Amino acid sequence: MLKTSEILDEKDKRLRVISKECSFPLTKKDKELIHIMIEYLKNSQIEELAEKYDLRPGMGMSAIQLGVAKRYFVVVDEVEEGKFETYVLINPKIISNSLEQIYVDMGEGCLSVNRPVEGIVPRYARVSVEAYDMEGRKIHVRAREELAVCFQHEIDHLNGILFTDHIDPKNPYKGKDQMRAI
């Protein structure tokens, strides 16, 4: 099982690398890593397992956070207590977005940022993402609210961007009045 300590910390320069496109079929190693990421994210959202294995709760993880500079990420969304929806997006691209912008009221978090961060991160309220599944089939996913934020956050990782880069250090709540909190 993946340990929280194996996830790269924000100080690690590898997080700033722009990840490379994947080719198909995926390697056995990539498929295994995807399953490890899914297991970590699911377990991290189940309170007793998170405590037992000392996991920081997370909803999404990009391959680069484990030192693999390939364009894929996993999102495990708890849609109701104990029921999860899993997304594996390979070579994702945002193909459309809403004009409306939102931000996470409690502040965005990241498994690679182990400290409290003040400020808001402007995100689109809705996005449509084109990507590939693990078999190399093209998929389209429409996401809104928290899921849209998560997809944008993970795609940023693939481009070497951390959520903290979006926060204005001089005015961390800049533009708050023009956006909706979620």
Q: What is the CATH number of the domain that holds 120?
A: 3.90.45.10
72 in Cβ contact with 150 (< 8 Å): no
Percent of the chain with pLDDT over 90: 97
Q: Which helix (H) or strand (E) holds 74?
A: strand 72-80
Tell me what pLDDT residue 82 has: 85
Instruction: Count the domains in the chain.
Output: 1
Identify which of 18-22, 77-81, 175-179 has the greatest average pLDDT. Answer: 18-22
- Which residues participate in catalysis according to the annotation? 154
Task: Quote the pTM value.
Answer: 0.96
Q: Please report the pLDDT score of residue 1 as a whole number.
A: 86
142 is in which domain, residue-wise?
4-181
- Encode pLDDT of 158-169 as tens digits: 999 999 999 999
Q: What angle do CA 30, 159, 101 make, to 5 degrees?
A: 115
pLDDT of residue 38: 98
**CA 44 remoteness from chain centre:** 14
Place of tokens 């693990």: 134
